[in-house]
Structure formats: C-alpha cells, structure tokens
Amino acid sequence: LTPTMSGYDEGQVFWSDQQLSDKTQNVQGLVQAFKKFIREFPAGLEFPYRDQLRKNTAMHEYRLEVNLDDLNSFDQESYTQVHDRPAEMLPHFEAAAKEVYAGMVVGKRDDDAPIPDIQVILTTTSEPTGMRDLAAKHYSKLVHVQGIVIQAGKPTVKATAIMLQCKSCKVTKEVYVKPGLEGCVFPRVCDNRSADGSRNDCGLDPYNIIAEKSRYVDLQKLKIQE
C-alpha cells in the first residue's frame, strides 16, 4: 500500500511573483523540497518526520531529528545540497520545518502568537570518516566523524539576525548572520531613501544595534579526538 496525504495540516499559501530573482526562486524550491520530505517521507503507513515534529512540539521541544539516509532515499538532490553546502542549506531546512509546524497549528494558536524556530538535528548511519583522512575536499562539507569529546567550551550567545537603527533618520534594517563561526559586516552608510529617490545623507557608520529586537542562538565549541 502507498500512504496518501490527508492534507489537513498543510496550511499552504499559494502565491505568484513574476519578478522574483533566480536566487529567490531557488531558495523557495529548496524550502518546498524540504517541506515535502518532512510531510511525506513514508515508513510503512506512517509519516515519521511529520509525526515526530507534532509530538516534539506538543511537549514544547522545538526540534526535528532527521536521518540523512532517509533524505537521500527520498530526494537525492536535496541530500546532495545539504551534504555539499550544510552551512547554507540547514537554515532553509529549519525554515521548512517551521513552515510545516505553522501549518499544523493553523486555528490552534492566537493569530498574533509568534511561531517558534525549529532546530533540525542531522544524523546518519553511514561509516564515519577518520579524522586523519580529512582533506581539502572535505572543507565546508558535511562530514561524519567519530571521536571522544575531550574539551567543551562554555556556551556563548551568537546572533542570527541583528536589528540595526540609523541614528539620524531612525529607519531600521535587519542584517542576517551566517551560521557557524562566521560574523557579519554592517553597512557603512544608511540605505534609506527620500521621497525623490535620493539616498539620505546620514553620515558614515550611522547604525546602532537594537539588542532586544535581534535574534540569538546558543553556541558551544567541542574539541574531539580519535
């Protein structure tokens, strides 16, 4: 028997914008592919990832554990994207999980209640790569290694999105920070424009950080050895 979707929890929004850039279209396509995997990956007559997401969030545990072997068998292209560009793809995967959860709770939450972020945790049953075998070809790619944690750093806070406000014109701007240990570069000039389309002269480095409107995650460094 082939399992079928009831569709009651999809909560889809259909839209069209013919002016989208290719990059935006690609991102939307990736998110849709990840959403399809979460909703439709079958295990017999069940949908384990959709059910896991519903169960975890019901206990206020906003996470989803995904076996990459399942993703590879369901959608090899999406697996390749995650494997080759994990720092770029994982935020899209988590955005997809958040949208699936949002569809599950349509009509069950207050309309103005924020939807919490969903953490996607990746696992695999594939053979690990030896640490001594790591080479340049593995750089920035997803690698499965096995070892013993010999040191754990203190948890720190890392911003994922920083809200900036111009000191002169008071306009706000959100700057996104790449995952991992990377930082971000703030714009040197205000990009707000006046009614005639000209750029406002707000001086050099006009932005202040609005900490209470920025978003953060916990970050911890682990040191492992074979």
pLDDT digits (tens, 9 = 90+) for 22-55: 556 688 899 999 999 999 999 999 999 999 999 9
Is-above-0.85 flag for pTM? no
pLDDT digits (tens, 9 = 90+) for 158-209: 998 999 999 999 999 999 888 777 778 889 999 887 767 777 788 899 999 9
The gap from C-alpha 58 to its chain's centroid, in whole angstroms, comes to 21
